[in-house]
Amino acid sequence: MVDFRKPLFDPGSCVATPAALDAIESAGMDATEILDRHVTGDWGDLCEDDCQANESALECGSRILSYYRLSTGQELYIITEAKGDDGRREATTIMLRGEY
């Protein structure tokens, strides 16, 4: 089944650490799957307060954070920077929890 959820924000340039890419591959996934979840508002395994902070960030332009526990037990963060003076989000980074 194809998921056609609409992105909620532009992530800007997307980068990932080598360790994060290895972890995603080990879990049998692709980095675009994780990124798609992030930009469509699936914040993963965040607590309710952090989910609410992301919802607010969509309106005010502050940082957006997602946290995913992979099937292998490894943990990923995805962080999209706050909007800059030009109103754009410049970058999104995928990293292991220990790299944060």
pLDDT for position 1: 45
State the DSSP H helix or E strand holding residue 52, giving kind and residue range, or none if neither: helix 48-60
**What is the distance between the alpha carbons of residues 38 and 53, in angstroms, rounded to a whole number?**
14
pLDDT for position 3: 55
**What is the distance between the alpha carbons of residues 40 and 8, in angstroms, rounded to a whole number?**
5
| pLDDT tens-place string over residues 44-94 | 999 999 999 999 999 999 999 999 999 999 999 999 999 999 989 999 999
Q: Global pTM?
A: 0.91
